[in-house]
Structure 1
Amino acid sequence: MLTLYRPGTGPLHRMPAGPKLLLVLAAVLAVSLLPSTWAAAGIAAALPVVAYALAGLGDGMLGLRELARQVLAVRWVIVITLGGQLLFLGPEPAVANTARVTSAVVLAALLVLTTRVTNLLDAVERGLRPLAALRVDPARAALLLTVTLSTVPVLAGLARDVRDAQRARGARAGLRAFAVPFLVVAFKHADELGDALTARGVR
């Protein structure tokens, strides 16, 4: 399975997958519940900065280089979210909502960057084991949640690769010129992921 995991020895790398997953989910939930105010936008923007700085990613800039890379990868999401909400809601809620969405995405990326997919899968499966009494398959549910968590940063990485390739060829920037090749590689990734799951007996 394609992953963005980066080996390291920072605090988040050393933390067990289960508690780390709960910590990141709590942070994402807290960001999502912030009000649509300028102060909330500042909090939403500051939280990933602190989280990446404490993660110990080893990029030599307290995580800021990796954070900038993750934000850059979802720039079209930021532009579309901000533009649409500026049109209908006004500056303050538009900036606050966009900051919350961006913060949630990069925090989810931090989980995948510091946790091996196998460890994350095992942690989710253990947490869902009590649901087996309700005829819920913990392994299948864990796989679904893990793939979902992994997909957001993976797609962000694919988007960055597409834009880098276009820039290397001197292609003109534009949403239409970006969308078509991005959809092609995204569908290709989905097909490869489906084939990998099928090969492992997942139906």
Structure 2
Amino acid sequence: MITSLYRPGDSLLHRCPALWKLLVLMVSGICLALPFARWWFLAAITTLCISAFIVGKFGLSELCRQLWSARWILAFTVIAQVLFQPWERMAANTIRVLDVVLLASLITLSTPVSALLDGVLSLLKPFSFLGVNTDGIALVISLALSAIPLVSSNMRAVKEAHIARGGHGGVMAWAVPLLVISLKQADELAEAMDARGN
């Protein structure tokens, strides 16, 4: 069964309009993707993410939980670069990925899916005059933002269950269940969208 990652609350982050959060994510993502982004900028975005977890009243425990959930994504990022990039660039790229994951997590933790979808629609509204299917694009973006922390959460649950069973069988012992869970959730989502006529 698909569950929402939204955590109800009354913090400043919760009250912030979804559109503003999406704009911060979009601008930060674009700036982080620039190859000439300086270390001070990466440090500033990371500090912003940590501060947002505190302001949102999620606490450092939730930040650590999100970091732990994203450990395999970060590990893959490091492994993919270790033989081809100097360590400074590898570290910078890993921090970029980490910051995007944390920003996406903050949005899904503090914003209901309905408000997130409305925010994406507002962001894309100017393009509707060009004949762009903004409703479809908004739905895809909302699902993508929700999928990042959801997959990390699934991976954490599967790995914990795998370790509880003794941790035998290698990567395939937890990768296959993770794939099955993800496909099942995707199937449930497709059925829900069909029922709503999307």
Whole-angstrom CA distance in 1 between matches of 2:37 and 2:21: 27
Letter in 2 for 1:29: I
Whole-angstrom CA distance in 2 between matches of 1:143 and 1:195: 15
Instruction: List runs of 5+ in structure 2 lacking aligned partners.
Output: none
Whole-angstrom CA distance in 2 between matches of 1:175 and 1:14: 41
Answer yes or no: is 1:20 the counterpart of 2:16: no
What CA deviation, in whole Å up to 9, does each residue of 1:78-133 have, x standing for no partner?
Answer: 11211221211121111111111111111111101000000111122233233222
What CA deviation, in whole Å up to 9, does each residue of 1:45-95 have, x standing for no partner?
Answer: 4342222222222xxxxx211111111112111112112212111211111
Letter in 1 for 2:56: A
Answer yes or no: is 1:142 the counterpart of 2:138: yes
Whole-angstrom CA distance in 2 between matches of 1:189 and 1:160: 16
Cross-structure match for 2:122: 126
Tell me: higher relative CO, structure 1 or 2? Use CA pairs within 8 A at least 6 residues apart.
2
Identify which of 139, 158, 167 aligns with 2:163. Answer: 167
Letter in 1 for 2:25: V
Closer, same or farther in 2 for the Cα pair 1:124/1:36, shift >3 Å? Answer: closer
What CA deviation, in whole Å up to 9, does each residue of 1:133-183 have, x standing for no partner?
Answer: 222222222111111111111111111111121122222384333211111
Cross-structure match for 2:195: 199
Answer yes or no: is 1:188 the counterpart of 2:189: no
Instruction: List runs of 5+ in structure 1 lacking aligned partners.
Output: 58-62
SS at match of 1:159: helix
SS at match of 1:171: coil
The within-5 A match list for 1:1-203 is 2-33=3-34, 35=36, 42-43=43-44, 45-57=46-58, 63-172=59-168, 174-202=170-198
Whole-angstrom CA distance in 1 between matches of 2:32 and 2:40: 12
Q: Once the 2 structures are TM-superposed, how far is the Cα of residue 38 of structure 1 from its aligned partner?
A: 5.9
Q: Give me the TM-score of the superposition, normalised by structure 2.
A: 0.88
Whole-angstrom CA distance in 1 between matches of 2:35 and 2:163: 37
SS at match of 2:4: coil
Cross-structure match for 1:60: none
SS at match of 1:87: coil
Closer, same or farther in 2 for the Cα pair 1:34/1:68, shift >3 Å? Answer: farther
Closer, same or farther in 2 for the Cα pair 1:173/1:92, shift >3 Å? Answer: farther
* Root-mean-square deviation over aligned CA pairs: 2.2
Count of aligned residue pairs for this structure pair: 197
CA contact (8 A) 2:12 2:56 kept: yes
Letter in 1 for 2:14: H
CA contact (8 A) 1:38 1:95 kept: no
Q: Give me the TM-score of the superposition, normalised by structure 1.
A: 0.86
